[in-house]
Structure 1
Protein backbone atom coordinates (compact mmCIF):
# COMPACT_ATOMS: atom_id res chain seq x y z
CA UNK A 1 0.00 0.00 0.00
CA UNK A 2 2.98 2.30 0.47
CA UNK A 3 3.88 2.19 -3.22
CA UNK A 4 0.87 4.09 -4.51
CA UNK A 5 1.35 7.54 -2.90
CA UNK A 6 5.05 7.47 -3.76
CA UNK A 7 4.39 6.57 -7.39
CA UNK A 8 1.71 9.28 -7.58
CA UNK A 9 4.11 11.91 -6.28
CA UNK A 10 6.77 10.76 -8.74
CA UNK A 11 4.28 10.93 -11.62
CA UNK A 12 3.15 14.40 -10.54
CA UNK A 13 6.78 15.52 -10.40
CA UNK A 14 7.44 14.19 -13.87
CA UNK A 15 4.42 15.75 -15.56
CA UNK A 16 5.82 19.28 -15.29
CA UNK A 17 9.14 18.16 -16.72
CA UNK A 18 7.40 16.16 -19.44
CA UNK A 19 5.28 19.11 -20.55
CA UNK A 20 8.39 21.34 -20.55
CA UNK A 21 10.38 18.80 -22.57
CA UNK A 22 7.43 18.33 -24.93
CA UNK A 23 7.36 22.08 -25.57
CA UNK A 24 11.14 22.16 -26.09
CA UNK A 25 11.04 19.26 -28.56
CA UNK A 26 8.04 20.82 -30.28
CA UNK A 27 9.87 24.11 -30.84
CA UNK A 28 12.97 22.19 -31.96
CA UNK A 29 10.96 20.31 -34.59
CA UNK A 30 9.33 23.55 -35.75
CA UNK A 31 12.77 25.14 -36.07
CA UNK A 32 14.12 22.17 -38.00
CA UNK A 33 11.14 22.19 -40.36
CA UNK A 34 11.51 25.93 -40.96
CA UNK A 35 15.23 25.53 -41.60
CA UNK A 36 14.64 22.71 -44.08
CA UNK A 37 11.88 24.68 -45.79
CA UNK A 38 14.07 27.78 -46.14
CA UNK A 39 16.97 25.69 -47.44
CA UNK A 40 14.71 24.12 -50.08
CA UNK A 41 13.38 27.55 -51.07
CA UNK A 42 16.91 28.90 -51.46
CA UNK A 43 17.85 25.95 -53.68
CA UNK A 44 14.75 26.45 -55.83
CA UNK A 45 15.30 30.21 -56.11
CA UNK A 46 18.97 29.78 -57.04
CA UNK A 47 18.02 27.61 -60.00
Structure 2
Protein backbone atom coordinates (compact mmCIF):
# COMPACT_ATOMS: atom_id res chain seq x y z
CA UNK A 1 0.00 0.00 0.00
CA UNK A 2 2.86 2.36 0.84
CA UNK A 3 4.37 1.77 -2.61
CA UNK A 4 1.00 2.42 -4.27
CA UNK A 5 0.52 5.62 -2.25
CA UNK A 6 3.97 6.84 -3.27
CA UNK A 7 3.25 6.14 -6.94
CA UNK A 8 -0.20 7.74 -6.72
CA UNK A 9 1.22 10.78 -4.93
CA UNK A 10 3.99 11.12 -7.53
CA UNK A 11 1.51 10.91 -10.43
CA UNK A 12 -0.92 13.58 -9.06
CA UNK A 13 2.06 15.83 -8.28
CA UNK A 14 3.21 15.69 -11.92
CA UNK A 15 -0.33 16.30 -13.19
CA UNK A 16 -0.86 19.16 -10.73
CA UNK A 17 2.52 20.63 -11.72
CA UNK A 18 1.60 20.48 -15.41
CA UNK A 19 -1.85 21.99 -14.79
CA UNK A 20 -0.46 25.11 -13.02
CA UNK A 21 2.04 25.55 -15.86
CA UNK A 22 -0.79 25.55 -18.40
CA UNK A 23 -2.89 27.79 -16.14
CA UNK A 24 0.02 30.23 -15.64
CA UNK A 25 -0.06 31.52 -19.26
CA UNK A 26 -3.87 31.99 -19.19
CA UNK A 27 -3.54 33.90 -15.89
CA UNK A 28 -1.66 36.91 -17.41
CA UNK A 29 -4.58 37.61 -19.82
CA UNK A 30 -7.08 37.81 -16.89
CA UNK A 31 -5.20 40.82 -15.39
CA UNK A 32 -5.70 42.67 -18.69
CA UNK A 33 -9.40 41.73 -18.63
CA UNK A 34 -9.62 42.99 -15.03
CA UNK A 35 -8.23 46.36 -16.14
CA UNK A 36 -10.85 46.56 -18.87
CA UNK A 37 -13.44 45.44 -16.33
CA UNK A 38 -12.58 48.47 -14.18
CA UNK A 39 -13.44 50.74 -17.10
CA UNK A 40 -16.42 48.54 -17.95
CA UNK A 41 -17.56 48.63 -14.31
CA UNK A 42 -17.78 52.43 -14.51
CA UNK A 43 -19.92 52.23 -17.64
CA UNK A 44 -22.03 49.46 -16.12
CA UNK A 45 -22.48 51.53 -12.95
CA UNK A 46 -23.61 54.55 -14.99
CA UNK A 47 -26.07 52.38 -16.89
CA UNK A 48 -27.28 50.80 -13.65
CA UNK A 49 -27.76 54.25 -12.08
CA UNK A 50 -29.70 55.39 -15.12
Question: Do the structures match in fold with TM over 0.5?
Answer: yes
- The runs of at least 4 consecutive aligned structure 1 residues that moved more than 3 Å come to none
Larger helix percent: 1
Alpha-carbon RMSD across the aligned residues, in angstroms, is 2.0
Consecutive unaligned residues of structure 2, counting only runs of 5 or more, are: 40-50
Give TM-score scaled by structure 2 length.
0.56
Give TM-score scaled by structure 1 length.
0.58
**Matched residues, number:** 39
